[in-house]
Structure 1
Amino acid sequence: MRYAICFTPSASDPLSHVAANWLGRNVFSGDMVEPPAIRGLGIHEIAFHTAVPRRYGFHGVLKAPFHLSSEVSESQLLRDLMRFCGTLSPFQIPRLEVARLGTFYSLSPIRPCDQVHYLSSAIVQEFDRFRAPLSEADIERSDPDGLSAAQFANLHRWGNPYVMDEFRFHMPVTGPVNAIDMPRIEQALRSIFDPVLVEPVTVSNVALMIEEGAGGPFRVHSLHPMGKVSARKIA
C-alpha cells in the first residue's frame, strides 16, 4: 500500500465532475463512472486512452506515491499533514489548459505558478521522513539511465526525479497517445474540459491519497484544508 500527497478539487467542483466522467472513475468514492458520449470517439477507445490516469484518479501530484516508513504510522502522517496544511494560505492557479506533455495529455497552468511549485517543494521536504527508502527495483523502474544529473540526484535524495527544479505541475487526463490519434483526442479533451477551465483554480485543500492494495487504484483518503480554522473562508 502506498500514499501520495496531491491536489484535487473538492468532490462538488464542476471540474471534478467532468474529470470523473472522462476518466471513468470518481477519485473520492472509487466508483466507476460511465464515460461521456463523444462524436467520433468510441467508449472503448476512451477507456483505452484513460486507463493509466483512471487508476490514479484525477489529481495533480505534489509528493509522488511512496511506501510508509516502518518508523512512522498512518495516524502520524494524518496528524502532521493536518498541522502542516494549517500553516499554508490558499491560493489560485492561473487558468488550466489542455496541454500535451510528450505523448500524454494533462491539464496544466497556462503560465508557471510559483505558489504550487513552492507547495510541492515544501511538502516533498517536510514529509520525506514518512517515506520508506526506495528498493533497487524501485530505482530501476525509474529508468535511471534516462535521467539528467539533477533528476538522478533527486531520485536518490527524494525518491522521485521530478521534484524541486524538475517539478512541473500537471493533472494527467490520458496515458500515452499515438501521434496519429492526437488530433482527435486533443479535440475531444478541449470540448469536454474547456467549459470548466474558464476561471482560475482555487487550491484550498491538500489531498492524502491511498492505493487500494498493491497495484490497485488510488482514491482520496482525506482532504486537509489550508489555513487556520479561524481564517478559512467558507465557500
Structure 2
Amino acid sequence: MKRYAVYAVPGINKEEVAEAIRLRTAVDDWYGRQEFHDLTQDARRYGFHATLKAPIHLAAGRTEAQLCAAADAFAAGRGPVVISALRPAAIGGFRALVPGRDPEDLDVLAADALWTFEDFRAPLTQGDIRRRRPENLEQRERELFERWGYPYVLDKYLFHFTLTDHVPLERTAEIDVAIKDHFDGVSGVDVPLTAVVISVEPAPGAAFEVLSVHPFAEQAALETPDAPRPS
C-alpha cells in the first residue's frame, strides 16, 4: 500500500539557484559514500528532503490526483522562503543539516502543511502504532502522535535534512569529522526553498520517489535575513 509525504526539497529543479543545486548535490554525494552506507540506509531510502507532512496512507475516498491538486493550491498561495545558514547538527542519535538562524517561516510552512493535508491522512493502523512505540515517547510527543499520526510536529517540529541513521557512540567522532568536511562548501549558506514536493513510497520498504513538484508563487519576494533574530 502506497504512502505519500509532503517534502521540502531545495534544488529539485535544474533552473534553481546555485546554492540550492549545490546543497542537493552535496547531500546526494554524501548518500553515495560507500564507507558510510551502513549508517545511511534509512536516510537514503527516504531521500534528500525536509519533512513538512510525514508519510501517510491516503484516507478512504481520497486519490493521488486530489493530493497533487491540493499541493498545487497550497504552493500557489505562498512565496519562497529561506533556509538560513545551514549547519550540521546532532539530533538525538542521528546527524542532519539544520537552519542556523531563526526558522520561523519554515515552522509556519510545516504547520500549514500539517493542517492542509490532514484530511488526506488515513487513521493509523495498530501496526503503525506499534512501530512508533508510543510508550517510549514523551507525553507531549504522544499527544501529538495520537492527534496527527506523527509526534514531531508543531512545538516539537524541527526543520532538518537527515544525513544518517542512528550513529553508534564509537563512530560519532568519525562521522562528525566526515560530515564537517563534506559539507564545508554549503555550511553557513542561505538556501531558497521554492517548491513543495509530493513523494511516494510505492510499496512498504521501497525507496521514496518524487511524484510531483509544486512551485511557490513566482511573484512573491524572497527575503533573506541579514542577521540572527531573537528567539
The TM-score normalised by the length of structure 1 is: 0.87
Output aligned runs, 1:169-184, within 5 Å.
Answer: 169-184=159-174
Alpha-carbon offset, residue 222 of structure 1: 1.5
Report the counterpart of residue 37 of structure 2 in structure 1.
47
How big is the shift at 1:125? 0.7
Q: 1:189 and 2:190 equivalent?
A: no
Over the aligned positions, Cα root-mean-square deviation in angstroms equals 1.6
Counterpart amino acid of residue 187 in structure 2:
L
Amino acid at match of 2:30: W
Matches within 5 A, 1:10-29: 10-11=11-12, 12=14, 13-24=21-32
C-alpha separation between the residues in 2 aligned to 1:60 and 1:89? 17
Which of the numbers 136, 152, 160 marks the counterpart of 1:146?
A: 136
Once the two structures are TM-superposed, the CA of residue 218 in structure 1 deviates from its matched residue by: 0.5
Find the aligned partners of 1:19 and 1:151 in 2 and give their Cα distance.
29
Code of the residue aligned with 2:36 in structure 1: it is: I
Q: Tell me the equivalent position of 1:28.
A: none
* 3-state SS in 2 of match to 1:195: coil
Matched AA of 1:188: A
Distance 1:99 1:20 in 2: 18
The Cα offsets for residues 92-151 of structure 1, whole Å up to 9 and x where unpaired, read as 121111101111000011133011111111101111000110011111211111222221
1:75, distance to aligned residue in structure 2 (A): 0.5
Poorly superposed stretches of 4+, deviation over 2 Å: none
Q: Identity of aligned pairs, percent?
A: 33
Q: Runs of 5+ in structure 2 lacking a partner?
A: 15-20, 222-231
**Higher mean Cα deviation, 92-101 or 143-152?**
143-152
**Residue-pair matches, total:** 214
Which runs of no fewer than 5 residues in structure 1 stay unpaired?
25-34, 36-42
1:1-235 alignment, distance < 5 Å: 1-11=2-12, 12=14, 13-24=21-32, 35=33, 43=34, 45-227=35-217, 229=218, 231=219
What TM-score do you get using the length of structure 2 for normalisation? Answer: 0.88
Q: What do the CA deviations read for 1:11-52 (whole angstroms, capped 9, x no partner)?
A: 44111111111112xxxxxxxxxx3xxxxxxx3x31111111
Matched residues in 2 for 1:110 and 1:70: separation?
40
